[in-house]
C-alpha cells in the first residue's frame, strides 16, 4: 500500500498544531487570579462570624514575644521588620503588602486579622498548616502592637 507523502506531512502538521493548542489550553488552567485580574483589586471580605472572633490570648510580654518570633520567621520577608509592608520580598508581589502601622489597618478587628492570616489570598499565603490557632492569635497581638509604634 502506497502512502501519499503530502497527506503524511499534512497529518504531522495538524498533529503538531493540535498538540500546541492543547498545551496552551492546559497552561491556561494554571493562570493565577492575579494575572487574570482577580482578587487583588477586590476588597477582602471577611465573614461576619470570623470578624466577631476575639483573641483568647492576653497581649502580655510573653504573647508579644512569641508573636514576634513567628512574625520574624513567617511574615517579615514580605511585611518588613517594622510592619510597614517593605520587606525584601514585597517588590516581587503582585499585590501591595499592608502597612500594619496605618490606622486603616489597625481598625480591623482581631478576628479579621486572624482570618486573613489563616486563609490567605492571592500573594498572602494561608497559614492554616504552618501555625496553630494559638500561634495565629500571638501574631495578631504582635501585629496589633505596630499601631502603637506610629
Task: Calculate the CA 64 to chain-centre distance.
Answer: 23
Which neighbouring-strand residues pair with 121?
124
CA–CA dist 48, 29 (Å, integer): 32
Q: Which residue's C-alpha cell is 503538531?
A: 16
pLDDT in tens, 83-120: 999 999 999 998 889 999 999 999 999 999 999 999 99
Does residue 21 carry a pLDDT above 70?
no
Mean pLDDT, residues 21-43 taken together: 48
Q: Which of 16-25, 70-79, 83-92 has the lowest mean pLDDT?
A: 16-25
> Which three cell numbers, joined as nine digits, stand for 7?
497527506
Amino acid at each position: 500500500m502506497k502512502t501519499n507523502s503530502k497527506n503524511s506531512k499534512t497529518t504531522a502538521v495538524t498533529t503538531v498544531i493540535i498538540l500546541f493548542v492543547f498545551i496552551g489550553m492546559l497552561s491556561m488552567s494554571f493562570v493565577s487570579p492575579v494575572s487574570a485580574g482577580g482578587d487583588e483589586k477586590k476588597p477582602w471580605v471577611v465573614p461576619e462570624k470570623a470578624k466577631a472572633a476575639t483573641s483568647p490570648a492576653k497581649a502580655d510580654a510573653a504573647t508579644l514575644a512569641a508573636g514576634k518570633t513567628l512574625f520574624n520567621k513567617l511574615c517579615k520577608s514580605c511585611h518588613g521588620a517594622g510592619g510597614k509592608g517593605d520587606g525584601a520580598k514585597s517588590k516581587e508581589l503582585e499585590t501591595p503588602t499592608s502597612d500594619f502601622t496605618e490606622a486603616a489597618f489597625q481598625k480591623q478587628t482581631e478576628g479579621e486579622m486572624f482570618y486573613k492570616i489563616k486563609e490567605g489570598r492571592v500573594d498572602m499565603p494561608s497559614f492554616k498548616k504552618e501555625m496553630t490557632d494559638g500561634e495565629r492569635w500571638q501574631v495578631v497581638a504582635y501585629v496589633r502592637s505596630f499601631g502603637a509604634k506610629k
